[in-house]
Structure 1
Amino acid sequence: MSFFNKLFSATPSINIPFSAIATDMHSHLIPDIDDGSKSMEDTIAMLHEFAAMGYTTIITTPHIMGDAYRNTPEIILGGLALVRAEAQKYPAIAHLRLEAAAEYYFDSDFEHKLNNEKLLTLGDNYVLFELSYINEPEGVNKLVYDMQMKGYKPILAHPERYPYWHRNLDKYEELTERGVYLQVNANSLVGHYGPPMKAVAEKLIEKNIIRFIGSDCHKYEHLAVTKRINSTKHLEILVNSSLLLNNSL
């Protein structure tokens, strides 16, 4: 094959615009209430980057986790109000729709909240929750059932980051059959959390069981990684699948 034939038969490069996602639904942008943004200045810098990338809606999701992050709806929504007010001072980000929910950690404290309080939700009563990274928790199926009985739609955050299921991909399909929505972390697609997480994220996308993608942005530097995913085959698959629900939130 001649040089020119090789040149013109090359595979087209992938460049998925972030406007195709438009809504980021997992981040930690409210200053100084969890392990995310450390200051309002940091938050505003991250919002500028989100806007420049093409996002139009940011739903930030601070941790609620036992004694580690004892956030309440009042703390989170109060923080959101401050971020909204500050963002209006900057023309480049004043147009962003800014919302807040939470990332609930599955523990006894969460079960108590589920039974006794109104949870912070995304969109049509979705609740974002996460599990231990180390040990497979007992009672996940019951938790899912209890959430649904309360009228919530459970979204499991970053399923690719739970190593105890990496050799049992059927577990992910079982969860989706029970009505759990799966949210992949964007940065997993470029190996930010390690090759095993990248491989599982790709397999879950290939199985067509991912419904949300989130940046899980904690600091400005994370967005430099996120920007690289727009050239990945698996973001292209996800966006073209018409299964992504980010824009429904």
Structure 2
Amino acid sequence: MIFFKKKEIPLIDFFSEGFVDIHSHLLPGIDDGAKNLDNSIELILKMRSYGIKNIITTPHVLGDVYANSSNTIKEKLQEVKEELIKRNIKDISIDAAAEYMMDEQFSKLLENNDILTLKDNFVLVEMSYFSAPLNIYEILFEIQLKGYKPVLAHPERYSFYHNDFKNYHKLKKAGCLFQLNLLSLTEQYGKGVQKISDKLLKENLYDFVGTDTHHHNHLALLKKIGTKKNLEKINHLLNNNKKFL
């Protein structure tokens, strides 16, 4: 009976069948995520051990820093898929979109309809950790004018909003969906981020979750979220992610 009183939950029970991780950096050598093909497969297998078998990985598209094109991303995805087949790993479903920095380059991609979506018309976007774009609401409007739905990655990590919480409500009213980084439930990004993520959860402002996996350390730390309390807080979001299946 002691087993049933434990508050910890193995992640394989935390992530139910059909869960889709919509934010990670698993394609080899094109951003600050997986370093090479072997590293990509190692990370994917570790995620599988947690019960995450459906993945839409999202490499950065960020100016000259990570100047990834849709073709580059698709080519790297194909490499990973072929390696999974080569290793006889058949129970993983992996696709690729991108995590777009909302900058001038993104506006050009948007204008040319050169956008990789999570599924249907959902687009994962981010902004600088230092400040929001001056024309943030214009960009969000343009995204939706093109028929896309903006999903803002880890809003809890934008510290410039922490002391002016009404901006989160303003973003939501502007049609922006929110994706919680699961590690924000821990102190990984600092207590301030953890506190804001809890407030955003309490005010029901999140729509989806993502692991934002870059490397093995992220996946090791992910074990910390496996508690009954956390599962109760985000179970509805875990279920929301199933729409990307």
TM-score by length of 1: 0.90
In the TM superposition, what is the alpha-carbon distance from 1:117 to its structure 2 partner? Answer: 3.2
Aligned counterparts of 1:167 and 1:11: Cα–Cα separation in 2 = 38
User: CA offsets, 1:82-117, max 9 Å, x none?
Assistant: 1011112334x4211100000000111111111123
Which residue does the alignment assign to 1:13? 7
Aligned counterparts of 1:243 and 1:99: Cα–Cα separation in 2 = 18
Question: What is the 5 A alignment of 1:178-197?
Answer: 178-197=174-193
Mapped contact 1:183–1:210 kept (Cα < 8 A): yes
Q: 1:62 aligns with which of 59, 64, 67?
A: 59
Question: What is the 5 A alignment of 1:14-163?
Answer: 14-15=8-9, 17-19=14-16, 22-91=19-88, 93-163=89-159
In the TM superposition, what is the alpha-carbon distance from 1:191 to its structure 2 partner? Answer: 1.2
Mapped contact 2:99–2:125 kept (Cα < 8 A): yes
Mapped contact 1:14–1:236 kept (Cα < 8 A): no
Q: 2:241 aligns with which of 229, 240, 246?
A: 246
Between structure 1 and structure 2, the one with the greater Rg is 1
The letter of the residue matching 1:76 is I
Q: 1:198 aligns with which of 177, 187, 194?
A: 194
The letter of the residue matching 1:245 is N
Which residue does the alignment assign to 1:3? none
User: CA offsets, 1:28-81, max 9 Å, x none?
Assistant: 100000111001111111111111101121100000011101100100000000
In the TM superposition, what is the alpha-carbon distance from 1:234 to its structure 2 partner? Answer: 3.6
- State which drifts further: 206-215 or 171-180: 171-180
- State which drifts further: 12-21 or 81-90: 12-21
Structure 2 alignment gaps of length 5 or more: none
In the TM superposition, what is the alpha-carbon distance from 1:136 to its structure 2 partner? Answer: 2.8
TM-score by length of 2: 0.92
The count of aligned residue pairs is 240
Structure 1 alignment gaps of length 5 or more: 1-6
Are 1:237 and 2:233 an aligned pair?
yes
Aligned counterparts of 2:238 and 2:216: Cα–Cα separation in 1 = 28
In the TM superposition, what is the alpha-carbon distance from 1:161 to its structure 2 partner? Answer: 0.6
Mapped contact 1:61–1:102 kept (Cα < 8 A): yes
In the TM superposition, what is the alpha-carbon distance from 1:206 to its structure 2 partner? Answer: 1.0
Aligned counterparts of 2:238 and 2:148: Cα–Cα separation in 1 = 20
Which residue does the alignment assign to 1:168? 164
The letter of the residue matching 1:19 is S
Mapped contact 1:210–1:243 kept (Cα < 8 A): no
The letter of the residue matching 2:214 is H
Aligned counterparts of 1:20 and 1:203: Cα–Cα separation in 2 = 28
Give percent identity, aligned residues only.
Answer: 38
Which residue does the alignment assign to 1:4? none
Q: What secondary structure sits across from 1:236 in the alignment? A: helix
Mapped contact 1:18–1:230 kept (Cα < 8 A): no
Change (3 A) 1:43 1:242: closer
- State which drifts further: 118-127 or 149-158: 118-127
Aligned counterparts of 1:74 and 1:243: Cα–Cα separation in 2 = 30
In the TM superposition, what is the alpha-carbon distance from 1:217 to its structure 2 partner? Answer: 0.6
